[in-house]
A and B are shown apart, each in its own frame.
Chain A
Amino acid sequence: MNVTPYRIILCDGTACINSGARALATALREQLERHGLTEQVTIGLSGCLGMCDKGPILVVNPGYTIYGRVTEKDIPEIVQEHLVKGQPIARLAIQEDHLYNRFFRVFGDAKFFGKQMRITLRNCGIIDPENIDDYLSLRGYEALAKAVGEMTPEQVVAEVEKSGLRGRGGAGFPTGRKWKLTAAEKATPKYVICNADEGDPGAFMDRSAIEGDPHTVVEGMAIGAYAIGASQGFIYIRAEYPLAIRRIRRAIDDARAHGLLGQNILGSNFSFDIEIRLGAGAFVCGEETALIHSVEGARGMPRPRPPYPAVAGLYGQPTVINNVETWANIPVIILDGANWFRTVGTETSKGTKVFALAGKVVNTGLIEVPMGTTLREIIYDVGGGIPSGKCFKSVQTGGPSGGCLPEQYLDTPIDYESLVKAGSIMGSGGMIVIDEDSCMVDVARFFLEFTQDESCGKCTPCREGTKRMLEILTRITDGKGQPGDIEKLERLGGMIRKSSLCGLGQSAPNPVLSTIKNFRPEYEEHIHEKKCRAKVCKSLLHYEIIEKCVGCGACRRVCPVGAITGAAKSRHTIDQDKCVRCGLCFNTCKFEAIAKA
């Protein structure tokens, strides 16, 4: 018997599990055995596929046939008819052309991808981003057409509000409410802005989203402009992203050529166009008021709020400013509906979140998962765990403004509130996994060095406070920490948090305060015992040559300061006074004869 190799994917989301998905797997295995198909048919599990009301969901590939409300007694029929005879069963198949998770059709059968659910990145990696035809063929700009053709601006705002979408830039302000406030303003003109000034170290969500599917952002902005009554939009993107800039520019030009931007879009009374503004790479320009100043041509510095941009934003006019990821959700909300969107996520946080998963994890990458997914699922199921058998130590979320969470928080479901409760923040989506080889004091120092460097200098707490904190941290990692330093850091951090002008300063102490809270013994060891348990802080470690030394002389030749001596074929020694702890000898030795202590 010649059978196509099939792959069956069972939705392993909570709703499907509750409606009996796991029993299906058992039934399926039995039937496959009965038909002798265990070789040709493989079974995989996916994360929530977003069809919770039709669960349990079972997908048969190739062909991407989706079966819904599958029961155990349907299994023999699926195996007999579909897998053996190659006849999909119309009675059970779900015929839906939803926008969300299109990505799954190509990538869903691979473990790393199948555990994800993609709304904003739905087209990333499956279409040519520089060809508007590819986007149009996947119902591109249909959401815009639906909005301008069949909905009033108020209905669009209401739909977004009902969806529960919250700003993906970090603070999580309800997008619908922001739109409603701006729409209610009488002053004209109004503006919409896309914040693509991604500056967190190690974050690349916005870049990838724009490079992979620029039209989604353009369409989302056009819908937002229609909703609030704006006719001009700006995309603020950093000049360090040349390819993303080229693709978004191309997308705007192509959309204009198709009458999807410009005067009387799709024959309606709505006119809207987008301009690009390049940022020079200042981190503070990701803060909305600083960004607005920068678009205006002024120096990128924040100002106190209120008034919020919804009232007085760009050129003093009502302005909606949203992040790339937020805009990319809009077409899906309009076409697949707020009611559907609300089914994904947690009570307070709806939809999905994109993360740039990096650091000490097997599968580094760009991921999108439903809100409510736990940190453990992200790191171990999607990320594949920690490489080279090392132990997990901490996960850092929210970039330089976020906190470091230890193992006991791994079961925290990702949403805006739970992360804050655990002592970190959602941020824009950086996620760095840290293993036992990293020193938490050093990690905190690294992030603070970044924010201190990027502080714009306008307000004293941020300008001076971060500088002083950095001095203390540097002193601790240099082995010169003093009793009382931890308390000083806590006091300073608390003050900076409370009294800084903008989000940069208010969140800058987070990495320090969260590492003190969760890894206090490491700080204490640095200060009192002059010891760095991860053996990272150079001033606190020394190198020794142990018995394994065969006297080959490789370390002696590589030492830049001549600190190593010894005769050929006999054990060498390191002069600790001369040693600068560069680690070259450690890396050079082939006999593991040099020990870090």
Chain B
Amino acid sequence: MPTPLELIRKKRAEAVGRIIGKGYLSTKRVYVGMATCEIAAGSKDVMDVFQKAVSRGLTDVYLSQKGCAGRCNLEPTVEVIEAGKSPVKYGRVDRERAQQIIDRHLKNGEIIQEWVID
């Protein structure tokens, strides 16, 4: 009989496996804020832009929702995380900015400084 700790470690390994199976190891991970406050600021539109881009063939990107990071006045927020690079945090993202993030950052690796939260 495995101990609870052994069981939970197995569950953890399985969970990591499932996340990787969903593309976690893609070059870029994109997190879109989807708490009540973010949604009220318009993050559903933002998520929609990213989801459409993925369904239309944007590859090597792992798209996820996330909770509120706490930066109310700059919402909706989007993070782009890439191994070996500092996480990039964008604020006040709308449909237009989301599309630009896809075209310039995700496809061309350009960090759009003016929208970065620092």
List the interface of chain A (C-beta within 8 A of B): 4-5, 7, 61-63, 103, 105-107, 109-113, 121, 123-134, 136-137, 139-142, 144-146, 148-150, 204, 207-208, 211-213, 241, 243-244, 258, 265-268, 358, 362-368
What is the bound-complex CA distance between A204 and B68, given in angstroms?
11
What is the bound-complex CA distance between A242 and B46, given in angstroms?
21
Binds A, one of B4-12, B48-56, B96-104: B4-12
Given contacts A121-B70, A208-B37, contact A111 B118 (CB under 8 A): yes
B108 at the binding interface (Cβ < 8 Å): no
Contact status B68-A124, CB under 8 Å: yes
B contact patch SS: mixed
Residues of B1-21 whose CB lies within 8 A of A: 1-5, 7-9, 11-12, 15-16, 18-19
Residues of B76-118 whose CB lies within 8 A of A: 77, 79, 81, 84-87, 89, 117-118
Would you mind naming 23 contact pairs between A and B with Cβ atoms under 8 Å apart? A61-B86, A103-B69, A106-B79, A106-B87, A109-B118, A110-B118, A124-B70, A125-B31, A126-B31, A127-B64, A134-B19, A136-B11, A136-B15, A136-B16, A139-B12, A145-B4, A145-B7, A149-B3, A150-B5, A213-B67, A266-B8, A267-B1, A363-B73
What is the bound-complex CA distance between A139 and B11, given in angstroms?
10
What is the bound-complex CA distance between A512 and B19, given in angstroms?
53
Nearest-CB residue, chain B, relative to A124: B67
Given contacts A112-B117, A132-B15, A137-B15, contact A124 B69 (CB under 8 A): yes
Smallest distance from the beta carbon of B35 to chain A beta carbons, Å?
A: 4
Smallest distance from the beta carbon of B39 to chain A beta carbons, Å?
A: 7
Given contacts A124-B70, A133-B19, contact A243 B81 (CB under 8 A): no
Nearest-CB residue, chain A, relative to B85: A62
Smallest distance from the beta carbon of B89 to chain A beta carbons, Å?
A: 6
Given contacts A107-B87, A211-B36, A267-B4, contact A137 B70 (CB under 8 A): no
Smallest distance from the beta carbon of B92 to chain A beta carbons, Å?
A: 13
Contact status A207-B118, CB under 8 Å: no
B72 at the binding interface (Cβ < 8 Å): yes
What is the bound-complex CA distance between A211 and B66, given in angstroms?
9
Q: Please indicate the chain A residues that have their CB under 8 angstroms from the CB of B42 in the complex.
A: none
What is the bound-complex CA distance between A113 and B4, given in angstroms?
35
Nearest-CB residue, chain A, relative to B19: A133
Number of interface residues of B (CB under 8 A): 40
Contact status B36-A363, CB under 8 Å: no
Q: Please indicate the chain B residues that have their CB under 8 angstroms from the CB of A213 in the complex.
A: 67
What is the bound-complex CA distance between A220 and B15, given in angstroms?
20
Contact status B12-A365, CB under 8 Å: no
Contact status A137-B31, CB under 8 Å: no
Smallest distance from the beta carbon of B28 to chain A beta carbons, Å?
A: 13
Q: Please indicate the chain A residues that have their CB under 8 angstroms from the CB of B89 in the complex.
A: 106-107, 110
Contact status B72-A258, CB under 8 Å: no
Q: Please indicate the chain A residues that have their CB under 8 angstroms from the CB of B33 in the complex.
A: 125
Q: Which of B65, B67, B117 has the most chain A CB atoms closer than 10 A to its own CB?
A: B67
Contact status B70-A125, CB under 8 Å: yes
What is the bound-complex CA distance between A268 and B66, given in angstroms?
32
Given contacts A149-B4, A211-B35, A212-B35, contact A129 B86 (CB under 8 A): no
Smallest distance from the beta carbon of B77 to chain A beta carbons, Å?
A: 8
Given A107-B69, A145-B4, A243-B36: 6 more A-B contacts, CB < 8 Å: A62-B85, A125-B77, A131-B19, A145-B3, A267-B3, A366-B68
What is the bound-complex CA distance between A121 and B36, given in angstroms?
16
Contact status B73-A208, CB under 8 Å: no
Q: Please indicate the chain B residues that have their CB under 8 angstroms from the CB of A243 in the complex.
A: 35-36, 39
What is the bound-complex CA distance between A200 and B85, given in angstroms?
40
Q: Which of B1, B35, B65, B87 has the most chain A CB atoms closer than 10 A to its own CB?
A: B35
Q: Which of B9, B11, B117 has the most chain A CB atoms closer than 10 A to its own CB?
A: B11
Q: Please indicate the chain B residues that have their CB under 8 angstroms from the CB of A105 in the complex.
A: 87
Nearest-CB residue, chain A, relative to B118: A110
What is the bound-complex CA distance between A358 and B70, given in angstroms?
11
**Which of A4, A150, A365 is in CB contact (< 8 Å) with B73?**
A365
Given contacts A145-B7, A243-B35, contact A212 B72 (CB under 8 A): no
What is the bound-complex CA distance between A259 and B86, given in angstroms?
37
Q: Please indicate the chain B residues that have their CB under 8 angstroms from the CB of A139 in the complex.
A: 12
Contact status A127-B19, CB under 8 Å: no
What is the bound-complex CA distance between A123 and B31, given in angstroms?
13
Contact status A110-B117, CB under 8 Å: yes
**Which of B5, B16, B66, B67 is in CB contact (< 8 Å) with A142?**
B5
What is the bound-complex CA distance between A109 and B81, given in angstroms?
13
Given contacts A109-B86, A208-B67, A365-B71, contact A244 B5 (CB under 8 A): no
Q: Please indicate the chain B residues that have their CB under 8 angstroms from the CB of A110 in the complex.
A: 89, 117-118
**Which of A124, A125, A212, A258 is in CB contact (< 8 Å) with B11?**
A258
Q: Which of A106, A113, A134 has the most chain B CB atoms closer than 10 A to its own CB?
A: A106
**Which of B5, B71, B81, B84 is in CB contact (< 8 Å) with A363?**
B71
Contact status B19-A211, CB under 8 Å: no
What is the bound-complex CA distance between A141 and B31, given in angstroms?
23
Contact status B79-A137, CB under 8 Å: no
What is the bound-complex CA distance between A15 and B100, given in angstroms?
43
Smallest distance from the beta carbon of B102 to chain A beta carbons, Å?
A: 20
Given contacts A137-B15, A364-B73, contact A266 B7 (CB under 8 A): yes
Q: Top 3 nearest A-B pairs by Cβ distance?
A: A212-B67, A125-B69, A149-B4
